[in-house]
Structure 1
């Protein structure tokens, strides 16, 4: 308390008490200064960098926001909060139980407290009940809207009536079965518990996954009428052995595809082909099941679900309006502060002397190449999670990486040991890669409320029922609006008001979004992107389909237009044999083993060198980047260093350590153009989409401090290169255009490189991908194009649709990229704008100012800017880019006002580009 009074005797007692109790005075001293020095009105808070007239759901009321701030240990909004938005509460709208539902099934739900279903549940259930086998249903509503009942009701009605009639007549012709498919085991286990809780006579619901004991599998095949599985088991165990499953498949009435919006990219392409194979096998046994999809709110749900299951959009009924009740959700967008210690000290000193400090004023950076760095999303999440757990606020803290989830739980546990040691055992991490018994124990603890705070990957994003959660922390943009709304919807499931915080990571997309809330809240949810005709995905599925039942010519269009040509190639390569009646698989190996649905290759076992115990697994697609010698691996709060990577024996050997750093791999890349499929000439710029060959190699890794993310060292690696053929978008840009835009010859490599990094960071804004799903290359002279060129490519064989989506949305993509660079407060470039964490060239050379001029030139050449955008985005770049001369050639128009080497910049340009130093790199 003495420290609080020393700074300011009128600081609110709440903050003083928090500081006094928790003992982490340096952290809360900074929070005190921020909160007291910057009083932000709580009745309306538009984004700091977006006009106040931007569309808004509604501003939070002062009383509502006070509750949120109290939970976070804050007296008022600090400067890190860039925007606050409230998603308003919604009242319930119920409907009578449908007349077709069997009274015994209805009674089972009523016994669990469901007096009446919601209207949208009845609409979806009735559409499924009344659908013939050639029509299907997708329920695309938000989190906690009760989608389970909508698909359970028609399925249980059919099962109960069938069992009842079979017992009465002695014949089983009326019996019905249901197959439920979930992307995760945890979600399937949760659904199984809800089904068994109904206590419905005749219902035999069983889980069938990789953890199912062999002794139980025959019973499930022969007796279960509601099987909960995942796509992997359908692919590896059910379809290849469909003769054993004939009894179940012949009676298959419904197929439930839960979390359908999650099937995107390469995984989505695999699952879409798997659905076609399932429908084909069902037809063989005379069954035409109705497919019921459950999805988060998504764009064009009928069209997306139809593509997923291999049907026509007109054959899918979409229910999209939720009538379930929901409390209000207050969402804060949070941009962590810069970590420079000198800047913090200067601020405190200035405050003590009554001097204001410009937000963003920085001292010397501590990141790569001297760049400023912000507090890491892991540290910020751990601090907030600690505050919330101390306040007994049940919280999920999401983050994209497994390592991040472990680090947040571990760091928050250390903080709690300092503050209230008894609470450190009530924090846990949850992610894929745990052993089955660990997952089950964690899920049970979550349901019982024994865990107050959990740090999780998106494994808990899905619809597992965890009632009573109060808050959600989202550590870094999760990749799509659908995922974001799923994550923030995990709290407030009992109808109570709740809050969520999106904590920006050091990533260009995160930087853009926290300053452009309209792109989060006021745009429709993304369209799901996947390409089932990718030849690298389709070819092995054709082999698997032929192994299940020989392929006939009349059914080839089910798999797409390229099917016959691919079959010819597979025959030539000896994989299939063609006869008069169709195409046959004739090898003794299982064709399904040639397909990896999740695109990660076969897993490597992670073994503790000291005990010999298997502590986890890692797919081989991540082995070079995350399992290389020297890599830091975290599991259940324990940290290990990789001693050896044995790819031949599929083993990663690790030893326990306690480092104060984490590791990040680096790779180098070569790209060869194989052929352009589409080309647009945009002024002098050629924009292309097509096939490329990418050769990449992990060549080293960095050690970075856990606090502050300072680079502690670079270590070389000697790993074999990897090669793939994929799809890319690329720009070829004449050097004359770059010169005319004010980019000096020596700065061209850095400008191209920085623009490439920023564009990769922003592509997930328009394509449903993650930054790590894509790669890029830039060069001042490419041997295939003979010009300066920027490539952005899909990181999956054959492509995943991401580059294609960027080609379609190139204007919005590049506008957002330029906006992010101009809005970033750094001077020479940082991880929030043009630096990349996976750059094989150690982020050299980079030229932030040149990247902005280059992107502006691309937009002007393509005529992609409105008058308002031209004023807002181009003015900081000066007259060279802002005011092309009417009627002049592009090069002439850019030359107006641009400076030549050795000439001083105009005043407005010099002011806006202060500190932008050109690199002298001779590259």
Structure 2
């Protein structure tokens, strides 16, 4: 019925003129044809490469391919950030194949975020040299979770020219066992990082450490590979790659690839977005247009697919869903059928956003704004791959960003793509990878990476918890665990909670921060299209128990939050106020959860919850609301708390325009009076432990943050507030109170700048004080000081409490105690009956007298009275053993004495026990002279002097260990690997 060349234009025209849908089209823009720009390489390719290109029908490369390959061939790192279908795979494949021709032993590591991408690129690579003799071809192999053990071993022992894998395999298999990969790593010339823009936020922070670990191992084998980064169009490609690897690449963003005419249609539907998408898809199918429909959720994918399966008539077998959760073979089959044309349409989540080849499509329908300009262009780039005319239709939802671009469509095309941000020094993530790095290769204090202040701070914390161990010289750092890698999830932060079915099968996992909100008892949890109810949340084992079953409601938590400012990192004056960026401690108390009907969201009831507070440290921005602005809002009889609450929601909703993120990765708090700020304040923070760099980047665009926030609220057509402007789907107080008009008035008053703080003043805060026993309130101090000065409030001398320690922190008088017994644990029925063992000899060292005092059993009353004279009593296993033995003679609770148990202190650091003999030998070169069994034998032989001498020697070792630890801050012991290492102590 339609000429092929006119089909897309006719489809768009029919949509605009449709009586039912035409008035829902708010914008239509045609991007004209773009001609190809070719260029010649500075250095000609070998004849084999020229022939290879000719076999692909390529006479000359696009300009960006030429420029990129020139740099790569010269050994320079590059990042190529050009649109979808611009031929980026040739950029890395050609130099790798050329290097193979020069050096058959050269190797390349290709990293893809998805298995499907590796499968797709494997076929592409193989096809390039398929016409070469088999023995002369470079080999490529995939190494991922689907690779059988047989082929894994074969790949390790005889590595291919190109190894295609994913971050998880690099993290869990290659780096921990790098000694099995020597042949590959020692010849590694290229590292290709495809779809690098996906490595942002939490995963980006993990990848930043993973790449640093890879570079450490490469350095061990004397290798410095060339990095080739490929990305969708992103706002900060160089900064992204530098944060990920520490490498500064050459940036190539100007594409020389051609592009056919492309229609962009923005549609704001009267009905639901899914209903509008179904109508659009139906019309496309009638025209035989090859179509991809992108949805924002699995549920939406299934909904549209259900219609396709039931009501599409003749097209029933030519439509398929595609999402995570499908088996790999199912996904491969769908990809192949789309590429061949057997399938006419596919309905997908973001799983098909990346560069998997599914052929040349005519139409892309976006059901809801994908969350970023970059993703919209990436998904839209699926169409018109053969340079034919194509169309992209964006069907808006009610989300703030969707509606913002419906009201400002031209801005979508005029503003640059968002920046991809990450926090390479997220302290939680950094510590986990340092542990892995030390297990791979011992860390050296002289390493450039180790000398970074953030890394040094993380190492110190890991030493304090016994997860890293420093050698006696203090220059080499070992991992306490042999394989800590399996406890690190590259796609999560903090402690991971596992969700188990009734039979113990793990059905999913969730980060610790989200576990409180999504897997509390009573929560409805969705997994692979099935509904589960959470029955139990165990914080000790970090597991949630779930029961399968359909329910007609969903759940949403109710909570209240507070935040403490830990550190002010930076600040700026903007929009009549001061905006700060810094470190925060967020405390969220979840009081209960709502049950809301799936149909219409009606509140069905509220169930109280009693779970521990959620406390985590992160990064955030905040600004103070000038008191004059507060008065102006109140004078207008507007709800002040509702105004700042609405402003907070709107700001979180609009930030994804500036930063590549989802609003669910951000949190916020608005308060009419913050103790540390001393004024009303609004906080927006990264919603994950340690921060992901989101608000750090937003701070650099402070003016635009306010500007966009005002625009989204002011321009929304609703009267009282809605999800498109000031309502949040995850608000812990149920969007109460909210005053849309108040937020507009407040922002406009701030924009006047009348209450702007003085520019020569900086804002600093004192941490919130401890809870006062008398008043039950927190004490805090807010300091506004001249720039460059640091103020520390003085504590009056007469208010300082007297202490049982001297000026250097030592107990004024301490004792060291050890006891030998008359009976063994076996004789009294076990160690738990130590009170029946009876004392043979006790030896006490008195620091005041600098003397060792011996006590026999009949002297126990005198010893017990003497113990009351000391400011601290020191022993080795004194609490569980010595005090237990003495309890048979005591008329008071010995545990009430001020006691330092060296064994207990060290066990807390290392999570395992270390013997006194080990510590004495390694630290003092003073091993024990005997043991408890020998002392029991001496008792039976009546050799009291030998027991006393041995017991005194143990007291001397314990005393000297205490003194050594006090002076040096550590003791030494010999670990299982026979290495003499430090254990930090702080007594």
**TM-score where L is the length of structure 1:** 0.74
Does residue 87 in structure 1 map to residue 17 in structure 2?
no
Alpha-carbon contact 2:401-2:653 (below 8 Å) kept: yes
Alpha-carbon contact 1:671-1:692 (below 8 Å) kept: yes
In 2, the alpha carbon distance for the partners of 1:840 and 1:556 equals: 44
Match of residue 267, structure 1, among 203, 208, 212: 203
Alpha-carbon contact 1:762-1:817 (below 8 Å) kept: yes
Deviates more, 1:245-254 or 1:795-804: 795-804
Match of 1:107 in 2: 51
Match of residue 562, structure 2, among 658, 670, 687: 670
Does residue 184 in structure 1 map to residue 117 in structure 2?
no
Match of 2:146 in 1: 211
Match of 2:855 in 1: none
Deviates more, 1:565-574 or 1:248-257: 565-574
Does residue 772 in structure 1 map to residue 668 in structure 2?
no
In 1, the alpha carbon distance for the partners of 2:631 and 2:342 equals: 63
Match of residue 399, structure 1, among 295, 307, 313: 295
Question: How far off is 1:769 after superposition?
Answer: 1.5
CA change 1:666–1:216 in 2 (3 A) is farther
In 2, the alpha carbon distance for the partners of 1:443 and 1:252 equals: 32
In 2, the alpha carbon distance for the partners of 1:89 and 1:687 equals: 45
CA change 1:734–1:377 in 2 (3 A) is same
Question: How far off is 1:472 after superposition?
Answer: 1.4
The equivalences for 1:496-511 within 5 A come to: 496-511=388-403
The equivalences for 1:59-78 within 5 A come to: 65-70=9-14, 74=18, 78=22
Match of residue 330, structure 1, among 257, 260, 263: 263
In 2, the alpha carbon distance for the partners of 1:249 and 1:434 equals: 34
Which structure 2 residue ranges, 5 or more long, are not aligned?
Answer: 757-987
1:881-904 Cα distance to aligned partner (Å, 9 max, x none)? xxxxxxxxxxxxxxxxxxxxxxxx
Give the match's secondary structure for 2:22.
coil
CA change 1:428–1:781 in 2 (3 A) is farther
Does residue 162 in structure 1 map to residue 55 in structure 2?
no
Match of residue 212, structure 2, among 268, 272, 276: 276
The equivalences for 1:572-721 within 5 A come to: 572-579=464-471, 580=473, 582-599=475-492, 622-626=514-518, 638-642=529-533, 644=535, 648=541, 650=543, 653-655=546-548, 657=550, 667-680=559-572, 685-696=577-588, 709-711=600-602, 713-716=604-607, 718=609, 720-721=612-613
Alpha-carbon contact 2:199-2:207 (below 8 Å) kept: yes
The equivalences for 1:769-848 within 5 A come to: 769-848=661-740
Question: How far off is 1:249 after superposition?
Answer: 0.4
Q: Which has the higher contact order (CA 8 A, sep 6+)?
A: 1
Deviates more, 1:587-596 or 1:510-519: 587-596
Question: How far off is 1:800 after superposition?
Answer: 1.4
Match of 1:244 in 2: 180
- Tell me the matched-pair count: 744
Alpha-carbon contact 1:669-1:697 (below 8 Å) kept: yes
Alpha-carbon contact 1:632-1:639 (below 8 Å) kept: no
Alpha-carbon contact 2:16-2:25 (below 8 Å) kept: no
Match of 2:167 in 1: 231
Match of 2:66 in 1: 122
1:176-198 Cα distance to aligned partner (Å, 9 max, x none)? 01000111111111111212223
Match of 1:869 in 2: none
Give the match's secondary structure for 1:556.
coil
CA change 1:413–1:654 in 2 (3 A) is farther
Question: How far off is 1:76 after superposition?
Answer: 8.7
Match of 1:532 in 2: 424
Alpha-carbon contact 2:633-2:639 (below 8 Å) kept: no
Match of 2:442 in 1: 550
1:809-834 Cα distance to aligned partner (Å, 9 max, x none)? 12111111111111111111111111
Alpha-carbon contact 2:41-2:67 (below 8 Å) kept: no
Match of 2:759 in 1: none
Question: How far off is 1:333 after superposition?
Answer: 1.7
CA change 1:271–1:833 in 2 (3 A) is same
In 1, the alpha carbon distance for the partners of 2:605 and 2:11 equals: 45
Alpha-carbon contact 2:493-2:689 (below 8 Å) kept: no
In 2, the alpha carbon distance for the partners of 1:538 and 1:733 equals: 35
Please identify the structure whose Cα radius of gyration is greater.
2
Alpha-carbon contact 1:689-1:730 (below 8 Å) kept: yes
1:660-683 Cα distance to aligned partner (Å, 9 max, x none)? 765555554332222322234568
In 1, the alpha carbon distance for the partners of 2:282 and 2:591 equals: 37
Question: How far off is 1:430 after superposition?
Answer: 2.9
Question: How far off is 1:632 after superposition?
Answer: 5.6
Question: How far off is 1:599 after superposition?
Answer: 1.7
In 1, the alpha carbon distance for the partners of 2:574 and 2:527 equals: 50
Match of 2:243 in 1: 307
Match of 1:521 in 2: 413
Question: How far off is 1:761 after superposition?
Answer: 0.5
1:220-256 Cα distance to aligned partner (Å, 9 max, x none)? 1222221111112111211111111111000001000
Match of residue 630, structure 2, among 716, 731, 738: 738
Match of 2:863 in 1: none
Does residue 257 in structure 1 map to residue 148 in structure 2?
no
CA change 1:498–1:624 in 2 (3 A) is farther
1:558-600 Cα distance to aligned partner (Å, 9 max, x none)? 7744323332333233222233473322423423345332125
Alpha-carbon contact 1:743-1:850 (below 8 Å) kept: no
Deviates more, 1:577-586 or 1:812-821: 577-586
In 1, the alpha carbon distance for the partners of 2:245 and 2:659 equals: 21
In 2, the alpha carbon distance for the partners of 1:627 and 1:426 equals: 38
Question: How far off is 1:857 after superposition?
Answer: 2.3
CA change 1:728–1:146 in 2 (3 A) is same
Alpha-carbon contact 2:577-2:753 (below 8 Å) kept: yes
In 1, the alpha carbon distance for the partners of 2:488 and 2:319 equals: 38
Match of 1:753 in 2: 645
**TM-score where L is the length of structure 2:** 0.70
Give the match's secondary structure for 1:538.
helix
CA change 1:103–1:721 in 2 (3 A) is farther
In 1, the alpha carbon distance for the partners of 2:575 and 2:500 equals: 57
In 2, the alpha carbon distance for the partners of 1:155 and 1:815 equals: 47
CA change 1:629–1:448 in 2 (3 A) is farther
The equivalences for 1:400-549 within 5 A come to: 400=296, 404=297, 406-416=298-308, 419-549=311-441
CA change 1:67–1:99 in 2 (3 A) is same
1:490-513 Cα distance to aligned partner (Å, 9 max, x none)? 111121111112222222222222
1:867-920 Cα distance to aligned partner (Å, 9 max, x none)? xxxxxxxxxxxxxxxxxxxxxxxxxxxxxxxxxxxxxxxxxxxxxxxxxxxxxx
In 2, the alpha carbon distance for the partners of 1:589 and 1:266 equals: 25
Alpha-carbon contact 1:696-1:723 (below 8 Å) kept: yes
Give the match's secondary structure for 1:149.
helix
In 2, the alpha carbon distance for the partners of 1:749 and 1:521 equals: 36
1:136-190 Cα distance to aligned partner (Å, 9 max, x none)? 1111111110100110111122224433xxxxxxxxxxx1010001111111111
Match of residue 284, structure 2, among 385, 388, 403: 388
Give the match's secondary structure for 2:180.
coil
